[in-house]
Structure 1
């Protein structure tokens, strides 16, 4: 459990309580794909499975179980984002620990407006 004054896992530099906790707790919903991306990283970091399901497009959401969230995510870098009216793209790099060695993954992600809320759809190849 992350303490409210701890820095947010999404690497925004803000306290968790003033950043992604607003979304993970249901007090607000992200109004852009980049903010959704950051909140999803925090959800992966904290093991918030219900939020991940809620923020994933139902057509592409896999069957997630708690064991899928064992990775220790350490930091996030949003490289660039392109906000559109109905679909958006976010390119990011996420770091994680495996056998006490830090590794990273790189993804360009597609987000769409679904029922008036931004949701993660899928990774795409390359920048549009």
Structure 2
């Protein structure tokens, strides 16, 4: 991986930020880091990492064409860490047909086999 900035918006180089997780060198220790690294995986088309960080009960069978979106920016609105479940609210912008669009989601993460994984989008902040 190059010295490009990480897509997650941390301001750090990719290879010393989410690139560490996507390469398998280490695993994120918080739900927010998992969420940021998943955004990076979506932006870079890394299906294997998305499967690894998705709870098996809710993980879809993703194909390459499912993640071809041009992601442009991420903002973490707030994050609430818990012992066995955490919630992260974020906004993610993407471009489609030369127009910018926004996804605003409150995501549930749970500990699964001692690792934080994405479970599902919640209807609102709990």
Question: Quick check: TM above 0.5?
Answer: yes
The corresponding residue for 2:58 is 60
The corresponding residue for 2:7 is 9
Q: Tell me the SS of whatever aligns to 2:39.
A: helix
2-side partners of 1:4 and 1:77: how far apart?
23
1-side partners of 2:53 and 2:90: how far apart?
17
After the TM superposition, which parts of structure 1 deviate over 4 Å for at least 4 consecutive aligned residues?
Answer: none
Q: Tell me the SS of whatever aligns to 1:126.
A: coil
The corresponding residue for 2:106 is 108
1-side partners of 2:77 and 2:55: how far apart?
23
Q: How does 1:33-52 map to 2 (within 5 A)?
A: 33-52=31-50
Q: TM-score, structure 2 length as denominator?
A: 0.98
The corresponding residue for 2:94 is 96
Listed one character per residue, the Cα deviations across residues 6-62 of structure 1 (whole Å, up to 9, x for unaligned) are 110001111001100000000010000000000000000000000000000000001
Specify every segment of 5 or more residues in structure 1 that has no aligned partner in the other structure, as ranges.
none
User: Number of matched residues?
Assistant: 126
* RMSD over equivalenced CA pairs, Å: 0.7
- The offset of 1:107, in angstroms, is 0.2
The corresponding residue for 1:121 is 119
2-side partners of 1:107 and 1:69: how far apart?
17
2-side partners of 1:13 and 1:99: how far apart?
27
